[in-house]
Amino acid sequence: MNWDDFATHAKDVADWGADYHKTIRDRPVRAQTAPGDVSSQLPDSPPEDGTDMANIMADFEKVVMPGITHWQHPRFFAYFNSNAAPASVLAEFVASIIAPQCMLWQTSPAATEMETRMLDWLRQGLGLPDGYQGVIQDSASSATLAAVLTMRERALNWQGNVQGLSGQPVLRIYCSDQVHTSIDRAIWVAGIGQDNLVKIRSTGDLRGLDPIALQDAITRDRAAGFVPAGIIAATGATGMGACDDLDAVANIAKAENLFTHLDAAWAGTAMICPEFRPLWQGAERFDSIVFNPHKWLGAQFDCAAHFLRDPDVLRQTLAIRPEYLKTHAQGDIIDYSEWSIPLGRRFRALKLWFLMRSYGMEGLRSRIRNHVTWSQALCERLRALPEFQIVTDPILSLWTFKPAGASDEDTQALVEAINTDGRIYLTQTLVDGVKVIRFTAGQFDCEERDFDTAFDTITEIARR
């Protein structure tokens, strides 16, 4: 393929993409294929000769599309949405064409300086105070791992990377029992060990960690010879949206000299709406905060905004400076590879620039407010029916329910029947050990009519 061919095919793909999104409601949300259906259509060996792009696209439609679960479907109410607003898609297209490697300022000055400014735009949008600096990570999981590594090095006086962990004091990190499993994985990868992630019981309507139990656990661990290293809090945890009391956590962390990290991967986007900020009151006291613009804000995956009150502690943990990676330039520069676990970095800031300029902050706020309003209205419609039980009340656009009096098996059967129907897509979770159905809304282009379809689908299939 030459670049003239590329231009022709790119126009065809753009037309295909627009048609895909305009007709996506006609498709079942979840892929309806069985295991092995796709791989059975793929040859065992790679081709020796090239194939015309028209044939490749025809095979794409036949082989790939039936096996796609449509994350951009307006009735995708299962996991937290991974959005792709049109402006963001265009930015990714442009970034793919120029294909820069953005590990250092000198390898992509525009990408570096735009990243600095875009993260500051987001900081302002979230209402975080001056002083926080940001970096784009690939995911909240990577940001959390970076924070855990920083907790480890800070608690070991920066000797873990140098000496290894053998013979070092046993570290402890604290979180609630509602956190995402990415926290557990970060503990594994950091070499701290699952047994040293202390999960504190959650309480109250928001299922936040119990501050008294947290303080007691830290006190007991110090007395037993462990070294407390940090606390990981959550705003809008994945299961049912649990939110910790951040001021209470920050008070304990300050008294105990512990590093704090806030996982607001999903709910952080909603904080661009001032009326939702009581859910993370005290966030401005945390050392590290992450949220994912690729979830609710509309940015194409992958794009996690990681804010730090003192980036030097992160750089001290991650930075390696061989001569060939040094930038010899006058003036203050940032090499974001020193803020991230991977060395290589994509031009992710471009899609934030396109997105915020195209829709404006108020346009983005309006979408989030609509999602919350429509989701909570659906919750109330189901609450009014005797055959349903609302198990946890809405936290933003996330809530859980089940058929009244149903067993776990019956609840799971309803989830499967709904997803097989294809009109909407839901998933299940556990609340206090009981199987429930989880509903969350946040697809960039969803409309109120999609929530009406959700109500009709849930009630029809449950009654059937």
| CATH number (domain holding residue 336) | 3.40.640.10
pLDDT at 281: 96
pLDDT at 180: 87
Q: Does residue 149 fall inside a structural domain?
A: yes
Q: pLDDT > 90: what percent of the chain?
A: 74
**Measuring CA to CA, which residue among 196, 200, 197 is closest to residue 170?**
196
173 with 319, same domain? yes
387 with 308, same domain? no
380 with 332, same domain? no
pLDDT of 405 above 70:
yes
157 with 281, same domain? yes
pLDDT of 454 above 70:
yes
Q: Does residue 53 fall inside a structural domain?
A: yes
Three-class HEC string of 6-73: HHHHHHHHHHHHHHHHHCHHHCCCCCCCCCCCCHHHCCCCCCCCCCCHHHHHHHHHHHHHHHCCCCCC
pLDDT at 335: 83
Residue-range definition of the domain harbouring residue 436: 361-463
pLDDT of 234 above 70:
yes
Q: Does residue 78 fall inside a structural domain?
A: no
| Tens-digit pLDDT profile for residues 335-365 | 888 888 887 888 899 999 999 999 999 999 9
CB 444 within 8 A of CB 367: yes
Q: What does the pLDDT average to over 391-419? A: 95
Cβ-based neighbours of 59, under 8 Å, separated by 6 or more: none
| Tens-digit pLDDT profile for residues 279-317 | 999 999 999 999 999 999 999 999 999 999 999 999 889
237 with 106, same domain? yes
183 with 266, same domain? yes
pLDDT class of 74 with cuts at 50, 70, 90: very high
pLDDT of 110 above 90:
no
Q: Is the dihedral of CA 44, 49, 52, 53 positive or negative?
A: positive
pLDDT class of 329 with cuts at 50, 70, 90: low
Domain count along the chain:
3
pLDDT at 96: 86
Least confident of 177-181, 217-221, 440-444: 177-181
pLDDT class of 104 with cuts at 50, 70, 90: confident
CATH code of 47's domain: 1.20.1340.10
| Tens-digit pLDDT profile for residues 183-213 | 999 999 999 999 999 999 999 889 999 999 9
46 with 170, same domain? no
17 with 60, same domain? yes
pLDDT at 109: 85
Q: Work out the burial of residue 57: count CB atoms within 10 Å of its CB; fewer than 13 is exposed, 13-18 middle, 19 or more buried.
A: middle
155 with 212, same domain? yes
CATH code of 444's domain: 3.90.1150.10
pLDDT at 311: 93
